[in-house]
Structure 1
Amino acid sequence: MGELSRREALTVARIVRVNHAGEFGAIRIYSAQILVARHVWPDCVPSLSEMLGHERQHCDAFRAAMPARNSRPCRVMQFWSWGGWLLGFFTALLGPQGIWACTAAVEATVHRHLDDQLNYLAERDRGLHATILSIREEELAHLHHAEEQLPAQGPLLRLLRATIAVATGCLIWLSTWGDSVRMARALRAARLS
């Protein structure tokens, strides 16, 4: 693992920024879901609380990784704050299926991003690679738990998951002012080379 080029260093900084913002958004989603679930879906609260704890640890890990990589939080964390909270609140109002469909959609999107990032970082930043590898395992466990809670998925549940996945992608793009698109291009180019 040698010195990173300017472009590689920028991509690594973008990875940390996007991941930190995403974890912050996940904290807001779970916080809103717990707020609602405590009153109407109490059986969901223990799992949601555990996942919230994981997301807080992940957010802290990415925040701690920023200085060494010349990264900083994304410019518009309010998108993540309000977007995550509203998504969590409204999906919780739909009931346990809404909660778990939201978790499954977000975690599936996150898992794809993390796999691409791991491929890119393997020979470029082993410390960040190790951090993301550990986090990916917990995110995958969240995805599996959510999918286990969902019965056979009808068209409305599939539509909800697809809508949430698209909204998550849009929020990533908006919050990074296109950095996520440039980062994805760099990750794809690295995979092809």
Structure 2
Amino acid sequence: MIEVERILRVDHAGEFGAINIYRSQLFVARYLYKDIVPKLEEMLGHEKKHFNTFDRILKSRNIRHCYALYFWAFGGITLGVLTALAGRKAIWVCTDSIESTVLHHLDWQLDFLSQHDTEAYDAVMSIKADEEEHQDFGQTHGSKSFVYKPIFWVVRQSTEFAIWLSTKL
């Protein structure tokens, strides 16, 4: 089914983007915010596991990856470096923004997949708890200050654009 393949490609690409965000934030944090390095490493580990889940399914079904995969990498690196340079709170605002956007899409996917593809449904369900945990951590450690609203908005719009683009490629 074409829609299931599209969902798997988008989720695979999104995890690739998340890996690049956390790698970039870690690079900066190792110099500026050593205290948050363990949490970023933990989150990066989750995203690598999620990526491998979708990568395995794509390969087992002979489904090509999203043509925008390297756009996700570039976007992830850019968001990661810029938010890390803006400060530790900006890192967590970025996490909150991305995860709130992703969780909205996962809910729609789960509803669709529950009726059309058990394996893909199970894969999406397997990542949801980690993504919720990341969002909660981002909300708790970020900031609701007006100073961070533009970061939240730019990250949300970037994430939504990347998701939209990935559904087309």
* TM-score class, shorter: over 0.9
Aligned residue for 1:185?
A: none
Aligned residue for 1:156?
A: 147
> Does structure 1 retain, via aligned residues, the 8 Å contact 2:90–2:142?
no
Aligned residue for 1:54?
A: 46
The one of 72, 80, 87 aligned to 1:80: 72
CA displacement at 1:159 relative to structure 2: 2.0
SS at match of 1:123: helix
The one of 115, 123, 128 aligned to 1:131: 123
Alignment coverage as a number of residue pairs: 169
CA displacement at 1:86 relative to structure 2: 0.9
SS at match of 2:21: helix
Cα separation, 1, equivalents of 2:159 and 2:59: 26
Aligned residue for 1:43?
A: 35
CA displacement at 1:156 relative to structure 2: 2.3
Cα separation, 1, equivalents of 2:87 and 2:110: 34
In the alignment, residue 174 of structure 1 is paired with which amino acid? L
SS at match of 1:156: coil
Uncovered stretches (5+) of structure 1, i.e. residues with no partner: 1-8, 180-193
Cα separation, 2, equivalents of 1:69 and 1:141: 30
Cα separation, 2, equivalents of 1:140 and 1:114: 11
Aligned residue for 1:191?
A: none
Cα separation, 1, equivalents of 2:151 and 2:122: 33
> Does structure 2 retain, via aligned residues, the 8 Å contact 1:121–1:128?
yes
TM-score (norm: length of structure 1): 0.83
TM-score (norm: length of structure 2): 0.95
Cα separation, 2, equivalents of 1:15 and 1:70: 15
Query: Is 1:12 the counterpart of 2:4 in the alignment?
Result: yes
Cα separation, 2, equivalents of 1:47 and 1:98: 15
SS at match of 2:115: coil
SS at match of 1:17: helix
The percentage of aligned residue pairs carrying the same residue is: 41
Aligned residue for 1:171?
A: 162
RMSD: 1.3
SS at match of 2:64: coil
In the alignment, residue 77 of structure 2 is paired with which amino acid? W
> Does structure 2 retain, via aligned residues, the 8 Å contact 1:114–1:136?
yes
SS at match of 1:141: helix
